[in-house]
Amino acid sequence: MTQPVLLKMLPITLAVFVGFLIIGLQLPVLALHLNHTLGMSTLVVGVVVGAQFAAALLSRAWAGNFADMRGPKRAMLIGMLVAASSGVLYLASLAFVDTPALSVWVLLAGRVVLAVGESLIITGSMGWGMGLVGPQNAGKVMAWIGIAIYAAFALGAPLGVAINSQWGFSGISIATLLLPLCALAIVAGAKGVAPTSQRRTSFYKVLGTVWLPGLGLAFSSIGFGLITAFIALLFASKDWGNASFAFTAFGLAFIGARIFFGHLPDKLGGAVVALVCVLIEAAGQLLIWGAGSPLTAYVGAALTGFGYSLAFPGFGVEAIKRAPPQTRGLAMGAYVAFLDIALGISTPLAGALAGATDVASVYLAGAVAVTMSVVVAWLLLAKQPELSAC
């Protein structure tokens, strides 16, 4: 079944990869631009990075209902256009570099717009994929979409460093404008699927069915969020050079886990897989916290990526089991909203912690947070639904 799923998912997966390159490009660059070019504190860095997740959270309900009622393909195409428009705001922010506070506000607006686009892309791609291959393959759909996203992070991070070195943040901004338009062209002619609902469903009703696996996703996502927001500052504080290879290590481990073990949540059960993988992720966070060399930090990033890779579809399969089948788009929006909540809250808090102590300390806090998802996985194992919603 793997090959037909992959073939049907190929245009969607490729488009998500190209679209998410814009986030990969920004990973090693945005924090340094804010901190070094604009002179902002680590708290402001955390707020600006976290704002994307907070804005995505606020748009999940609308994006999920839009995908269910208007079709997931349309949601994805509009998401690409919205994401591209964030590049215009990034470019505009550069006109105010001499007024750093104003530049940050314009950049923040760009992050919010990017978040809305990302919300539509994620919700649309997952709903589109499950419409093509069936909800019984939900784990595989999430696996392939995840491969596309984190492959974009792995390739985008060193590419972002290269672009920034050659053309500065303006080069990043132009790429942010153009790449989503390329992604839109990839899927514009692909076969869509019919909407699954004719009326708006209460987001909070669906949220109530997926809150427990969503809580597991929230705790496990904190490790990922700390790498995206603070690993570049950690490397800079220790004079280890640029952190692009840490993002690459994270991304390659994430992709490898999805390719070789992505079938396990559908086969063994999502909670079982998540239980094992969050422990691996927590070990990775501890390694980064205690790292005395770049190599140790790379290994920690790789373990974090490997563990988080399968925790996401692991908890996600449990969410799909509990959601009504006609609300899959909204259910995935509600599920991913827990990621937004976790990162929107934890990233500014981690920025404050880094300012009060040191950057490395955020990874000790990350290990503690990720370990909390072990409890959630145990609860899911003990509270399996009697009938699958699939």
- What pLDDT is recorded for position 201? 66
290 is a domain residue: yes
Decide if 390 is inside a domain.
Answer: no
Measure the CA–CA gap between 217 and 287, rounded to whole angstroms: 21
The pLDDT of residue 385: 63
**Contact between 329 and 72 (Cβ < 8 Å):** yes
DSSP string of 275-291, one letter each residue: HHHHHHHHHHHHHHHT-
Has residue 89 been placed in a domain?
yes
CATH number, domain with residue 351: 1.20.1250.20
Of 84, 85, 66, which Cα lies nearest the Cα of 74? Answer: 66
* pLDDT at 217 (0 to 100): 94
* 388 within domain boundaries: no
- The tokens for 339 are 């990621």
- pLDDT the model gives residue 110: 93
Whole-number Å distance between alpha carbons of 272 and 275: 5
Residue 315 domain-assigned (yes or no): yes
Residue 200, pLDDT score: 66
Q: Which residues of the chain have pLDDT under 70?
A: 1-3, 196-203, 325-329, 384-390
Show the domain range for 256: 2-191+201-382
Of 11, 302, 25, 288, nearest to 157 by C-alpha is: 25
User: Quick check: is 267 in a domain?
Assistant: yes
Confidence at residue 387, expressed as pLDDT on a 0 to 100 scale: 43
Tally the C-alpha atoms within 13 A of residue 162's C-alpha that lie toward its C-beta.
8
**How many domains, the chain?**
1
The answer to pTM > 0.75 is no
Contact 93, 100 (CB under 8 A): no
Question: Domain for residue 387, yes or no?
Answer: no
Does 74 reside within a domain? yes
pLDDT at 198: 63
Predicted pLDDT at 134: 80
Residue 203 Cα distances to 66, 73, 316, angstroms: 12, 20, 17
Give me 237's structure tokens. Answer: 């504080």
